[in-house]
Amino acid sequence: MVATLLGMRSVGIKILNSRLSEYIRLAASGETILVTDRDRVVAELGPIREARSPILADALLANAVRSGVLTPPTLAASGPPPVPQPVGPLDEILAELDEKRRDR
């Protein structure tokens, strides 16, 4: 079922699945589409928010910061990043790994 009320469209999952490209174009042009399953709204498809980066990696990082998963640095560091220090000699790490695999 496809319905339009007050300039907002709604579409059932079945129809959305068969005509996804059409609805993506509508969303990209600024329309908001409510996705329904058995006349219950389950999702909203719409244009990206102005604050959202069009670059996927940047958008994912910004979302992680907003949700509190990541914390941005308080001050930007100057110069190159620090050189990572090894956690131990490679032969010891590999021996420990082999030992743990034997325990399985």
What does pTM read for this prediction? 0.53
pLDDT of residue 104: 75
Return d(Cα 98, Cα 101) in angstroms, integer: 5
Category of 7 on φ-ψ map: left (φ > 0), alpha (ψ -120 to 50) or beta? left
Q: Which domains does the chain have, with CATH numbers?
A: 2-51 (3.40.1620.10)
Query: How far apart, in whole angstroms, are the C-alpha atoms of residue 104 and residue 96?
Result: 13
For a pLDDT cut of 70, what percent of the chain falls above it?
93
Interval 5-14 mean pLDDT: 82
d(CA 21, CA 35): 14
Q: Shortest CA distance to 46 belongs to which of 74, 102, 86, 7? A: 7
Model pLDDT, residue 49: 79
The DSSP bridge pattern shows strands 33-37 and 8-12 to be parallel
**Rounded mean pLDDT of 10-29?**
95
Model pLDDT for residues 79-90, shown as the tens digit of each residue = 888 888 888 899
